[in-house]
């Protein structure tokens, strides 16, 4: 059974940092794109970042460029999201996604259950 489990969320003050992890199990995803989306209350799910199977190609949403960094460890079937200079607008549930090529809502893939990130002023 394929399972993605996010961890690392919590409460942090504005300007602080958090690192999210997503550990996949059930099969190897070394040849898949991995990424993160987030969803705030009352808003649609928003693209955050993706990383290619090799780890060499990364893409970021405009609102997080320069602050967030995505990386992966294929040996451990894990993707990370380092979040720096956090703002209250970053408050959301963060979801891990894995799939072939482009990933996101409406595309084939696997999703985690999400981890809550709350940034206070």
For residue 4, the model assigns a pLDDT of: 96
**14 Cβ neighbours under 8 A, 6+ residues apart:** 86, 87, 88, 119, 120, 121
- Nearest of 48, 26, 33 to residue 114 by alpha carbon: 48
> What tokens were used for 106?
């409406």
For residue 87, the model assigns a pLDDT of: 98
> What tokens were used for 96?
């891990």
**Would you tell me how many other CB atoms lie within 10 Å of the CB of residue 13?**
10
Residue 59 CA to residue 118 CA, distance in Å, equals: 23
Q: What is residue 89's three-state secondary structure?
A: helix
Residue 48 CA to residue 69 CA, distance in Å, equals: 10
Per-residue pLDDT of the chain (121 residues; tens, 9 = 90+): 899 999 999 999 999 999 999 999 998 888 899 999 999 999 999 999 999 988 899 999 999 999 999 999 999 999 999 999 999 999 999 999 999 988 888 888 999 999 999 999 9
For residue 53, the model assigns a pLDDT of: 87
């Amino acid at each position: 059974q394929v399972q993605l489990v996010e961890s690392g969320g919590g409460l942090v003050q504005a300007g602080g940092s958090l690192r999210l992890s997503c550990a996949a199990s059930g099969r190897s995803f070394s040849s898949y794109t991995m990424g993160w989306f987030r969803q705030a209350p009352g808003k649609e799910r928003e693209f955050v970042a993706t990383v290619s199977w090799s780890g060499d190609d990364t893409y970021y949403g405009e609102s997080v460029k320069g602050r967030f960094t995505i990386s992966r460890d294929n040996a451990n079937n894990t993707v990370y999201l380092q979040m720096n200079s956090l703002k209250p607008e970053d408050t959301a549930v963060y979801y891990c996604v894995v799939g072939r090529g482009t990933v996101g809502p409406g595309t084939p893939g696997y999703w985690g259950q999400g981890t809550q990130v709350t940034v206070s002023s």
